[in-house]
Chains A and B, each alone.
Chain A
Amino acid sequence: MPLKIAVCIKRVPDTETRIKPGADGKSIDEAGVKFVLNPYDEFAVEEALRRREAAGGGEIVAVAVGPDAAQETIRTALAMGADRGVLLKTDARVVDSLAVARLLAEDLRPGGYDLLLFGKIAVDDSSHAIGPMVAELLGVPCVSAITALDLTESAGSAEREIEGGVEVVEFRLPAVLTVEKGLNQPRYPALKGIMAAKKKPLEVKPVELSGSGIEVLELALPPERRAGRIVGEGPDAVPALIAALRNEAKAL
């Protein structure tokens, strides 16, 4: 059955990037930082594509909240195969998950989506919050951090990892699912896809963020770890290591 699928994505610094606080002391210095499609969102886009391929039809809309530069991130999802994009444009540096979730929910509510896919976490602010929040705001079921998915016409079953096990969760459509690494292996955009993406519709809608009661005091680098030492070379250094762990570090 063809589904109408929204994939909510985010523009984030590449995971190999070094992070440096900016002049305001509250956000990162973006100079020289390479931005990419959030890695977990790649799994979400991939899952949408696979569902469309399996059903032989359907529509995939990539939705992002962010600055103008996030258009490039949306083009990445379009190059992978999404049909069209929506940018909810704001230059505000967002730390308030609920504010973002409200913007998304408002845009998604009238869309008539069967499935709303998210990465389980954005690797920048690491809040793992937007998917479940949007589900709450829309009043639809949500399963977060899924590693397996089985869908029928009106319902589904997903697995999510918990500590030392896996939960099996059944839900009805429409639903929000947030995707964990392992659900699938995302494809690389092919040249043909990259060319096609340039012509796909991308709508930009200016939005205003409202706060829910949280403000940034400071963004800082973590304290440097005090200098460690090499206790020795080869297996003969093992007793010295154990002594250090027991007597100095009290860690064994």
Chain B
Amino acid sequence: MTGILAFVEQRDGALKRVSLETLTAARAIADLMQGSVTALVIGPPGVDTSSLGTYGADRVVVVADERLRLYQPGAYTAATAARVREEGPAAAVLSATALGKDLGPRLAARLGCALASDVTALAFEQGQITVTRPVYAGKALLRLRVTGRPSVITIRPNSVTPVERPRAAAVEQGSAMPAEGSVRTVAVKEPPGAKLDVAEASIIVSGGRGLKEPANFALIEELAAAIGGAAVGASRAVVDAGWRPHADQVGQTGKTVSPNLYIAVGISGAIQHVAGMRNAKVIVAINKDKDAPIFKIADYGIVGDLFEIVPRLTQEIKKLRAG
């Protein structure tokens, strides 16, 4: 096969939205190399794969087994590596999710091939794939040429906009691998009212030390809820102080994010924080200090007391949603 193998991620039997981003990136590169796209789905029986053709898969290979409902590192690696060996794609692409960040390196090591992790752009130049990836948590961009074949490429969520590119997408069943026994995912614990993760959200409302105390994060949560589908993030200062879980931290020792909209509330804009969110498409800052560094990178700012501004913003957005 000349083309791309797109690993398509499911969670509890439903395709993840990022999978359509992966597929869109795979389609774009495959078109440039005049190749085809095979989507590989590993999971429980009954995953609805009908959207995969819509977003550009020429073929869909489904490896279905109830024991593969949860991410089983050994079995997922074996099944994906087997498919790469069989089809000989130029590259295998995955989303750089929690799963992809684990599976991608395993796959590259098993295949003995190069890995480009967490890329934000792909291109095809002079017969080879080139990628751009943020390094130093976004303080610099590294452009790499992938010379080996195959290669493994993981794509940062939110860096590709899904585009419909309908294809016939014949579906085939792949053979399931026996679960490899030395490491086994036994459960997924989801907190009630499972939160949207900052790494995947298209809108993030983040709070910092300007909120003064942990209980005041309610203001941030209310704003995020009013917007709808927004995740709540936090600066390192408030995570280190124990106000928020580290899973919410945005920055160089937290998550590097690329949402459509990032609203920074009471965050001064330390270099390690900015590194993690400067790739947001639109940045809004609300801070009482007009000289705060966050205003240097914000598209829109409001100077003033967040305790007055944020409730007003929440109220206006609610009105807008109701209207």
Question: Which residues of A pack against B, CB within 8 Å?
Answer: 13, 15-19, 21, 28, 39-40, 95-98, 101, 123-137, 140-145, 147, 157, 159-172, 175, 180-182, 212-222, 225-226, 228-235, 237-239, 241-242, 244-245, 249, 251-252
Contacts and interface: CB of A to CB of B under 8 A. Distances in A.
Contact of A142 (B11, B106, B245, B253): B106
A225 B297 contact: yes
Contacts of A101: 105, 109
A7 B294 CA distance: 37
Given A126-B256, A213-B149, A228-B283, A19 B139 contact: yes
B284 to A, nearest CB: 7
A22 to B, nearest CB: 11
B113 A237 contact: no
27 contacts: A19-B136, A126-B133, A130-B105, A133-B108, A134-B109, A136-B110, A142-B106, A145-B102, A165-B191, A166-B190, A167-B70, A167-B185, A168-B185, A168-B189, A175-B183, A181-B253, A182-B245, A214-B144, A215-B145, A219-B141, A228-B295, A228-B298, A230-B303, A231-B300, A232-B303, A249-B281, A252-B320
B249 A181 contact: yes
A235 B141 contact: no
A175 B73 CA distance: 13
Nearest to B252: A15
Interface stretch (B38-46, B48-56, B160-168, B310-318): B310-318
B140 A21 contact: yes
B196 interface: yes
A166 B188 contact: yes
A217 B144 contact: yes
Given A126-B136, A162-B98, A166-B189, A97 B115 contact: yes
A215 B147 contact: yes
B69 interface: no
The B contact surface, by secondary structure, is mixed
Interface stretch (B59-67, B170-178, B211-219, B271-279): B271-279
4 A-B pairs with least C-beta separation: A213-B148, A141-B183, A136-B109, A129-B105
A13 to B, nearest CB: 7
A190 B148 CA distance: 47
B254 A181 contact: yes
A145 B283 contact: no
Given A16-B272, A165-B190, A235-B308, A214 B114 contact: yes
A127 B156 CA distance: 12
Given A133-B106, A161-B247, A222 B142 contact: no
Contacts, number: 292
B300 A228 contact: yes
Contact of A170 (B113, B184, B189): B184
Contact of A230 (B182, B196, B249, B301): B301
Interface in B97-147: 97-99, 101-102, 104-106, 108-110, 112-118, 130, 133-147
B225 interface: no
Contacts of A249: 261, 281-282, 299-300
Contacts of B118: 126-128
A127 B114 contact: no
A37 to B, nearest CB: 13
Contact of B109 (A98, A172, A217, A232): A98
Given A161-B98, A238-B316, A95 B186 contact: no
Nearest to A246: B320
Given A167-B71, A218-B143, A231-B300, A98 B110 contact: no
Nearest to A130: B105
A136 B80 CA distance: 14
Of A213, A232, A237, A241, most B-chain CB atoms within 10 Å: A213
